[in-house]
Structures are given as C-alpha cells and as structure tokens.
C-alpha cells in the first residue's frame, strides 16, 4: 500500500519521520520551554553555547507532526548562530525553510520561535549569574 503524506510536503515529512537532534541535552547552557497557546502542545529546546555562538541544539516536543518537523528544523537553523542572530528567526522563517505548512498548521511553528526566545533568555540569565559580583563596594570592616 502506498503511504500517504497527507497535507505535508516532503521536507516536513522528512523532518517528522527522521527528526534531527531529538532528545534531552545534559547540562545545557540554555533551555527554553514553550507551549502553543492554540493547542497546548509543548516544546523544549536545549542549546550549547561557546563564545556567544550556539554550537549544538537538541529538542523534545510533545506535539503534532508539524511541531516536530518545525523543532527538528529549528535545531539545524540555530546551530552556528549568535544569540542575536537566533533571536531574529521568526515562525515565518521556519515555515519557509520547511517549504510551507498547511494553513491549519501554521500556528505549530510558533512553538519553535517561542522556544528559541526562551532558550536564549535562559542562557543570558545563567550567564549573568555566573559573573563575579562587582568589586566597587568596599568590604565592610576592611582597614579598621
Ligand atoms: S497542533 Fe499543536 S503544535 Fe501543531
């Protein structure tokens, strides 16, 4: 029996059937979680960062075929990008890179855009926490 691809084009089907970079990452530098406001599906995006550049990315998605394909493609799109470049990626860019989504599935790519924003935010927050405290304030009791 010939397998039907339904409403999806071959690029989407390829990413859905053979997702790239699926799975949790150990000790990621940033983790972003997003929930699709339309359907409630969720995505987690993990990033490894070196010198402000994403060197690795993985994902875990509980959602439809379009959400999984968007997640898979997103991990490939953001690798090698700086934080600022990653933040520029919109759901439209993801849809275009997927060769289009059926109109009823356009909202599924929003999950990936939201997860990128959240992962970058998490990375920036963790980086801030790693900074040593400012040295400007005098240490109490010193010199007495
Ligand atoms: S239907 Fe929920 S992300 Fe696609």
Give me the mean pLDDT over the 46-73 stretch.
97
Give me the mean pLDDT over the 10-18 stretch.
97
CA–CA distance, 114 with 117 (Å, rounded to integer): 5
Task: For residue 117, give both structure tokens.
Answer: 């924003």
Instruction: Find how far residue 66's CA is from the centre of its chain.
Output: 15
Pocket test for ligand 1, best of 33, 35, 64, 95 (most atoms within 8 A of CB): 64
What mean pLDDT value characterizes the chain?
91
Q: DSSP of the chain, one letter per residue? A: -PPP-TT--HHHHHHHHS-TTBS--SS-SEEEEEE-TTT--EEEEEEEEETTEEEEEEEEEES-HHHHHHHHHHHHHHTT-BHHHHHT--HHHHHHHTT---GGGGGGGHHHHHHHHHHHHHHHHHHHHHSPPPS-SPPTTTT-
CA–CA distance, 69 with 8 (Å, rounded to integer): 10
Mind listing the pLDDT tens digit for each residue in 67-87?
999 999 999 999 999 999 999
Ligand 1 contact via 122 beta carbon (within 6 Å): no
- Asked if 64 is an active-site residue, the reply is no
Are residues 25 and 58 in contact, defined by beta-carbon separation less than 8 angstroms? Answer: yes
pTM for this model (two decimals): 0.87
Of the pLDDT bands very low, low, confident and very high (cuts 50, 70, 90), residue 6 is: confident
Q: 10-122: what fold?
A: Sufe protein. Chain: A (3.90.1010)
pLDDT of residue 124: 96
Q: CA distances (Å), 120 to each of 32, 36, 55, in order? A: 7, 18, 13
Query: Which residue's CA is minimally distant from atom 3 of ligand 1?
Result: 108
């Amino acid at each position: 029996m010939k397998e039907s691809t339904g409403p999806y084009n071959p690029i989407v089907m390829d990413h859905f059937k053979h997702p790239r970079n699926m799975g949790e990452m150990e000790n990621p530098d940033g983790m972003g979680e997003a929930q699709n406001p339309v359907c409630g599906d969720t995505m987690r995006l993990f990033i490894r960062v070196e010198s402000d550049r994403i060197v690795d990315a993985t994902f875990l998605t509980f959602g439809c075929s379009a959400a999984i394909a968007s997640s898979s493609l997103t991990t490939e799109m953001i690798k090698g990008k700086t934080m600022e470049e990653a933040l520029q990626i919109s759901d439209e860019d993801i849809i275009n890179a997927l060769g289009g989504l059926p109109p009823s599935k356009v909202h599924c790519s929003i999950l990936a855009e939201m997860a990128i924003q959240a992962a970058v935010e998490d990375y920036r927050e963790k980086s801030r926490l790693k900074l040593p405290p400012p040295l400007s304030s005098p240490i109490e009791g010193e010199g007495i």
